[in-house]
Amino acid sequence: MTAAGSPQGVAARSRRTVQLERRLDVPRWLPYLATLGAVAFALLVSAMILAAVGGDPIRSYLHIVDSAFGDIGVISDTMVKATPLILTGLACALAFRMRLWNIGAEGQLLMGAWGASAVVLVPLLPPGAPALVVIPAMTLAGFAAGALWGFIPGLLKARLAMNEIIATLMLNYVAALWIAFWVFGPWSEGGFQLTAQFPREAWLPRLTDLAAQVPALGGLTVHLGLAFALVAAVALWFILRRSRWGYEIRLTGDSPPAARYAGIDIARNTIAIFMISGGLAGLAGMAEVSGVVHRLQQAISPGYGFTAIIVAYIARFNPLGVIVAAILFGALILAGREIQPAGVPGMIQGIVLFSLIASEVVLRYRIRLVRG
Amino acid sequence: MDFVTIMAAGVATGTIYLFAAVGEIFAERSGVLNLGVTGMMLMGAVGGFATVVATGDPWLGLLVGMAAGGLLSLLHAVVTIHFQADQVVSGLALTFVGTGLARVLGEGLSKAGATSLLPKLTVPILSDIPIVGPIFLRDQSVLVYAGYLLVPAAWYWIHRTRPGLNLRAVGEYPAAADAMGVNVYRLRYLYVFMGGLLSGLAGAAITLAIQPGWFGDLTVGGRGWIAIGLVIFAQWDPLRAAVGGYLFGAIDRFLLDVQGPENFFGIRNPVYYDHTLTFFLGMLPFVLVIVVLVVGSREAVRKRIGAPAALGVPYIRGERGA
Amino acid sequence: MTSDGSTAPLAIELRGIVKRFPGVVANDGVDFDLRPGEVHALLGENGAGKSTLMNIVAGLYRPDEGEMRVDGRPVRFRSPRDAIAAGLGMIHQHFALVPSQTVTENVLLGLDRPRFLLGLAKHDEEMAALAAGLGLKVDPRAKVWQLSVGEQQRVEVLKMLYRGAHVLIMDEPTAVLAPQEVEELFRTLRAMTASGRSIVFISHKLAEVLAIADRITVMRRGRVTASGIAAAGTSKGDLARLMVGREVLGSVERTMFRPGAVVLSMRDVHAENDKGLPALRGVSLDVRAGEILGIAGVAGNGQSELAQVVTGLRPFLGRIEIAGDVAERRSARDAIRRGVAHVPEDRTGVGSAPNLSITDNLIMKAYREAPIAHGWVIDVSAARRMAESLKDEYSIAAPSIDTLARLLSGGNLQRLILAREIESKPSLLVAVQPTRGLDVGAIEAVHRLLMARREAGAATILISEDLDEILGLSDRVAVIYEGLILGTFDVAEADVQELGLLMTGGTGGLPLEVAPILPGVPGA
């Protein structure tokens, strides 16, 4: 814009330019819209990539919807896949709320699986013990083992200010090797890379177990682990929203110096959060070995612990949102096994995450049309 | 199980860590944390390998591998510098994308047979110097020698040149750099890209020189994360990164060799007799990273050095502290 | 075209400058001119738009409307580089220095030459010579974080002069200086104008502006209320009215000083700062109920650490007794329990959580107990009730109690923090730089609240860089220098010049016949 009589000469036609300016407030509906928009964008990009490598995106997507929600049987299968995702998603959401980057949910899940298996395979309980004793013992062991695996990086971060991203990641690899040792070694069944099948008392009850009484439930492999997951989600939601501790978590996550100023013991909370986060992931591991595969083997998790990161992000770290996001990704994992080429679901996850974090820019800035 | 063999192999494998770590040092010195090293390395590995399978030219493969890593890093750069997104999560997303994409592009490559590799060199005369000669200068890939040159060059660049001054200013206190006319955004893009090129180089070094072949994710394994840990251990100094890289390379080799002999100085070698114990050996590098980081952070606190002050913080002009 | 008819072109000429930010018009049609060889003060309270205007001159912002001329030629700066190339150098309130780099490296940052190899040793010598020639004392090899604030300011000046700046813009340069250092700065400025350079001096301090400026431009709420008036013949009252639009209150009303029991007692307290260097080296002092103890000192002499050891945010050696409770080791939680309230220096980073609501920020001290908490559950409606009532009582201007804290203005955020801290009915209030960056209205509000606490019998430690504020509010003043309390005085008997001397270590190295540049009377 120039003043009259300036060397620039006659006033030019006013142009409209697009400018980004910082937002002063954020409408309540915007975060949800941004999330939806990001996911939609990611699916679009992934479709293009699928097409580029010779796949048929529309058919693939429809196939996913069908094979995940087509009938009650596959919905049950989807929920089976969603169960560990809810638990690990909660683990990540809880930690991320306090800005603790727990990338070790995968390892904590594995350790939980190991802990639960140990109850049966060491054995820690006498064989023949009733399910009412075995299942709670396995649950406890799974949670404890996962919590221990979370305690280590938590302690290192709280007392030695060690970067928790590296610590949790390294422990993922250590956990995988730990499982490999037991599965190839002491617990190996017949020289194969898996353990003996657990006795029936060590199986989490499934809907299909009731088929004798209710025939309609036949073939539905949804197990009690889902109940654990849902209860945990609601409990976590309540804690974060309504409890003193939840307030401390939110405050610390937003501003650690303010939390310290308010007298909060950040070190203690760090360790506690890491332990609970690890415990939740450990429960996921227990649910997998006790409710799904009924044995300990190397390939328990197709990367639940990593998918959980995206689940937590889509849910904006809200425990109830985790349930929804976990179901969606459970569907993706279930049906995605059949998508060729094999790396595509992983890529889609990455693209979704990129879209999500890039979409946050609309929460900070808005577009303004400026004359001139 | 002899020292020279292990160290020589260590130097070779360590070069992989070295390239990735130095690349990440550049990125982090400019203030941008890029955790996507594994993804970029895999892209470099698959890019290089696919190229050499298709064309038979490893040098072309090297270029393609570097370019692949660089291009992938730009994704992270745009999202974190322009969109000001969280750098940690963006780096993780980059790892997912890079890993998935590499898996897709590498379909079928594992069946490819032997491919031509980058040449190996022996330096005449100097390679006969006891111990040092055979380790560093005999029968090593050209990339290893490139590593020898990269490290002092990187150090010199960072500490003794004007571009290095700008780099350090942008990573420590970008507001000052900006006020003095240094283009913070452009420099951050540049150095993230450079980090991507070097990570791509690290990946290509695996498939074109050090451990040829394509094995999916296992081609890189946990090495990308170890490289990131090494950056912290190195206190963002290329020389220390080289030392750490060679050390971990040697450990990799040692763990392989230690399974061989029946006896260690007359004591039974437990790993020879029970091969499931190798899993525990495999844990060693990862545990060592943790130990090394713990020790390193205490040292840093003592010496009052540390990460570039603006690391991980998006720069927004006009938003100063207090 | 200059107004006094001389033919030399104006060093800087601004016409019709408009600059908008979201929600506010920072500069609304501003005209400004700077004559060569003059010191021109740009006066206005915090938020008036002075820094924005000069940031435009320095190339950091681009104006939405208006034009700018340097030495008579129209210019359009796209970045700070262009401005520096045109000979304009700005020294900001927050120095544009990289703390971990040396003086030389900082001076060289952003230059075109040397192009590639730095050759630091050679440049170290060059810097030392240049500094000596200008009468500035500085060690080129020192790292900036090792320097005192006054020394850092000298580095900034050196930086600009090295680049051949003939116009220097200084943004609130005296905020961090002791009175004697201010005089030294003024001498340097006069020497520079004598050699033909021009200076823009941004400040909100009336007395200093009158002391140093040749001409004054006053800004209020983005507009110019007085343009380039001669400093001679203008009174402080005139300026105050132009700045604020009404008579500014002198000092706040105060009742008789009736000291009660000792609330805080510090004996031989030692503490380190974040770099591990000694910050407090044996501090001893007492604060009584019903009094305000002001801690005067130049920034960086241990004030921050003093506040932190009392409020439990920093470990210490020695003895700190609060309300009769002795502790050698204190945590923030413990301090809060003992009735210590803390209004911190850093409002946005420490005193509040930017992405939490006003309500969540207000319960930061109260969330552990009834009525906000029942057991381990928080009573959300009780919290909201408290937030509503505090919002009204303390006039926190915001759309609702759910508004996020980062959207509040500085003044409102400070009201929030004070509301929270005072509501906890503390026996000891530690207020650090409570009015920094606030406009006059907010400053008055803060002062009133502090005095009200005093009436109510609380003990207050007031730490401030503004000597006038300390003298206006406190009952007693303690001077801190290099981690020691050099002296404590009743305000009624305090001599500003003597205080100033103590603030710089006792002698300041200056001859005693230097005329005082601050009035002996507290208040604006």
pLDDT higher at C344 or C369: C344
Q: Which residues of C touch A2 (CB under 8 A)?
A: 67
Chain B's closest residue to A170, CA to CA, is B286
Using CB atoms, pick whichever of C80, C115, C346 lies closest to residue B179: C80
Q: Rounded mean pLDDT of C493-508? A: 74
Chain C's closest residue to B322, CA to CA, is C346
Mean of the per-residue pLDDT values of chain C:
85
User: DSSP character for B211?
Assistant: S
Residues B83-130 pLDDT 10s? 888 899 999 999 999 998 898 888 878 877 777 888 888 888 887 888
Mutate to test the interface with A, among C304, C357, C378 (most CBs of A within 10 A): C378
CB-based contact, C62 to chain B, within 8 Å: no
Residues B293-302 pLDDT 10s? 888 777 776 6
Looking at CATH, the fold of the domain delimited by C12-87+166-242 is given as: Rossmann fold (3.40.50)
CB-based contact, B111 to chain C, within 8 Å: no
The C-alpha angle C22, C25, C26, rounded to 5 degrees, equals 105
Is the pLDDT at B52 greater than 60? The verdict is yes
Is the pLDDT at C150 greater than 90? The verdict is no
User: DSSP character for A217?
Assistant: G
Shortest CA gap B78–chain A (Å): 9
Using CB atoms, pick whichever of A101, A306, A342 lies closest to residue B103: A342
Shortest CA gap C344–chain B (Å): 11
- Helix, strand, or coil here: A138? helix
User: DSSP character for A223?
Assistant: B
Contact between C246 and C441 (Cβ < 8 Å): no
Strands, DSSP E only, in B21-172?
120-121, 140-141
pLDDT at C513: 30
Chain A's closest residue to B35, CA to CA, is A165
CB-based contact, C105 to chain B, within 8 Å: yes
Closest CA to A257 of C350, B309, C308, C362: C350
- DSSP strand pairing (C484-490 vs C223-230): unpaired
Instruction: Tell me if B280 and A181 make a contact (CB, 8 A cut-off).
Output: yes
Q: Which of A346-360, B8-22, C332-346 has the lowest mean pLDDT?
A: A346-360
Domain annotation covers residue A129: yes
CA–CA separation, B293 and B229 (whole Å): 7
Chain A's closest residue to C407, CA to CA, is A24
pLDDT at B29: 96
Q: Rounded mean pLDDT of B183-187? A: 94
Domain annotation covers residue A245: yes
pLDDT higher at B135 or A152: A152
Shortest CA gap B213–chain A (Å): 18
Domain encompassing residue A97: 87-228+237-298
Is the pLDDT at C514 greater than 80? The verdict is no
Residues B113-125 pLDDT 10s? 777 888 888 888 8
Q: What b-and-e string marks burial along C194-213, b requiring 16 or more CB atoms within 10 Å of the CB?
A: eeebbbbbbbbbbebbbbbb
Instruction: Tell me if B276 and A343 make a contact (CB, 8 A cut-off).
Output: no
Q: Which residues of C touch A254 (CB under 8 A)?
A: 353-356
CA–CA separation, C127 and C141 (whole Å): 9
Place of tokens 């169960």: A83
Domain annotation covers residue A109: yes
Shortest CA gap A49–chain C (Å): 37
Give one DSSP letter per residue of C69-112, joined into a string: EETTEEE--SSHHHHHHTTEEEE-SS----TTSBHHHHHHTT-S
Q: Which of A336-350, B302-316, C297-311 has the lowest mean pLDDT?
A: A336-350
Q: Which residues of B touch C114 (CB under 8 A)?
A: 162
Is the pLDDT at C524 greater than 70? The verdict is no
Is the pLDDT at A372 greater than 70? The verdict is no
Q: Which of B275-279, C224-228, C345-349 has the lowest mean pLDDT?
A: B275-279
Instruction: Tell me if B86 and A167 make a contact (CB, 8 A cut-off).
Output: no
**Element housing C199 (H / E):** strand C198-203
Q: Which residues of A touch C14 (CB under 8 A)?
A: none
Q: Rounded mean pLDDT of B199-216? A: 91
Domain annotation covers residue B117: yes
Chain C positions with Cβ closer than 8 Å to A: 15-16, 21-23, 64-67, 74, 311-313, 331-336, 342, 344, 346, 349-356, 360, 363-365, 367-368, 373, 376-378, 380, 399, 403-404, 407
Domain encompassing residue B120: 3-257
Contact between A116 and A143 (Cβ < 8 Å): no
Residue C513: Cβ within 10 Å count: 5
Neighbors of chain B with 3 or more C-beta pairs under 8 Å = A, C
Q: Which of A120-129, B6-15, C515-524 has the lowest mean pLDDT?
A: C515-524
Strand partners, C102: C143
Following CA atoms B227, B228, B233, B237 in sequence, which dihedral angle do they give, to the nearest 10 degrees? 90
Residues C270-303 pLDDT 10s? 999 887 789 999 999 999 999 999 999 887 889 9
Q: Which residues of B touch A178 (CB under 8 A)?
A: 279, 283
The C-alpha angle B3, B8, B9, rounded to 5 degrees, equals 100
CATH of the domain at B250: 1.10.3470
pLDDT higher at A196 or A259: A259
Residues C428-451 pLDDT 10s? 999 999 998 888 888 888 999 999
Contact between C276 and B304 (Cβ < 8 Å): yes
Q: Rounded mean pLDDT of C209-221? A: 91
Chain C's closest residue to B305, CA to CA, is C100
Strand partners, C267: C319
Extract the tokens encoding C297: 């000192």
Contact between C223 and C32 (Cβ < 8 Å): no
Place of tokens 């150090």: B155
User: DSSP character for C457?
Assistant: T
Mean of the per-residue pLDDT values of chain A:
86
- Residue B318's pLDDT band (cuts 50, 70, 90): low
Using CB atoms, pick whichever of A24, A25, A261 lies closest to residue C350: A261
The C-alpha angle B191, B197, B203, rounded to 5 degrees, equals 140
Q: Which residues of C touch B31 (CB under 8 A)?
A: none
Is the pLDDT at A368 greater than 80? The verdict is no
Instruction: Tell me if A346 and B286 make a contact (CB, 8 A cut-off).
Output: no
Chain B's closest residue to C91, CA to CA, is B179
Q: Which residues of A touch B85 (CB under 8 A)?
A: 357-358, 360-361
Instruction: Tell me if A177 and B280 make a contact (CB, 8 A cut-off).
Output: yes
Contacts of C482 (CB under 8 A, 6+ apart): C281, C301, C302, C505
Is the pLDDT at A281 greater than 70? The verdict is yes
pLDDT higher at C88 or C22: C88
Using CB atoms, pick whichever of C333, C349, C399 lies closest to residue A257: C349
Strand partners, C286: C265
CA–CA separation, C443 and C464 (whole Å): 13
Extract the tokens encoding A363: 């929460």
Q: What percentage of residues in chain A have a pLDDT greater than 70?
A: 92
pLDDT at A57: 80
Using CB atoms, pick whichever of B92, B104, B289 lies closest to residue A53: B104
The C-alpha angle C191, C168, C22, rounded to 5 degrees, equals 155
Chain B's closest residue to C274, CA to CA, is B304
Shortest CA gap A352–chain B (Å): 8
pLDDT higher at C11 or B320: C11
CA–CA separation, C161 and A7 (whole Å): 32
Give one DSSP letter per residue of C165-184, joined into a string: -SEEEEESTTTT--HHHHHH
- DSSP strand pairing (C223-230 vs C373-374): unpaired
Extract the tokens encoding C37: 């060889």
Structural domains in chain B (count): 1
Is the pLDDT at A20 greater than 80? The verdict is no
Q: Which residues of A touch B86 (CB under 8 A)?
A: 357
Q: What share of chain C is helix, strand, coil (3-state, %, to 5)?
A: 30, 25, 40
Q: Judge if C12-87+166-242 and C252-339+426-524 fold alike in CATH terms.
A: yes
Instruction: Tell me if B99 and A354 make a contact (CB, 8 A cut-off).
Output: no
Domain residue ranges in chain C: 12-87+166-242, 252-339+426-524, 357-423
- Residue C2's pLDDT band (cuts 50, 70, 90): very low
Shortest CA gap C163–chain B (Å): 11
Structural domains in chain A (count): 1
CA–CA separation, B257 and B260 (whole Å): 6
* Phi, psi of A205, deg, nearest 5: -60, 140
pLDDT higher at C405 or C253: C405
pTM of the model: 0.87
Place of tokens 């003059």: C38
CA–CA separation, C129 and C135 (whole Å): 10
Strand partners, C14: C32, C68
Looking at CATH, the fold of the domain delimited by C252-339+426-524 is given as: Rossmann fold (3.40.50)
Residues C301-360 pLDDT 10s? 899 999 999 999 999 998 898 887 776 577 898 889 888 999 999 999 999 999 999 999
Q: Rounded mean pLDDT of A235-253? A: 94
CB contacts < 8 Å between B and C, how many? 81
Q: Which residues of A touch C355 (CB under 8 A)?
A: 254
CA–CA separation, C467 and C109 (whole Å): 35
Using CB atoms, pick whichever of A101, A174, A358 lies closest to residue B88: A101
Instruction: Tell me if B97 and A350 make a contact (CB, 8 A cut-off).
Output: yes
Q: Which residues of A touch C64 (CB under 8 A)?
A: 1, 372
pLDDT higher at B15 or C59: B15
What string of H, E and C letters represents the secondary structure of C278-344?
EEEEEEEEEEECCCEEEEECCCCCCHHHHHHHHCCCCCCEEEEEECCEEECCCCHHHHHHCCEEEEC
Closest CA to C464 of C310, C283, C296, C251: C296
Instruction: Tell me if C364 and A1 make a contact (CB, 8 A cut-off).
Output: no
What's the ipTM? Answer: 0.88
Shortest CA gap C514–chain B (Å): 35
Contact between B195 and B201 (Cβ < 8 Å): no
pLDDT at A143: 97
Is the pLDDT at B149 greater than 50? The verdict is yes
- Residue B266's pLDDT band (cuts 50, 70, 90): low
Contacts of the segment B213-221: beta carbons below 8 A, 24+ positions apart? B213/B49, B213/B110, B214/B45, B214/B46, B214/B49, B214/B106, B214/B109, B214/B110, B214/B112, B215/B110, B216/B103, B216/B106, B216/B110, B217/B42, B217/B99, B217/B102, B217/B103, B219/B42, B219/B45, B219/B46, B220/B38, B220/B41, B220/B42, B220/B45
Is the pLDDT at A14 greater than 60? The verdict is no
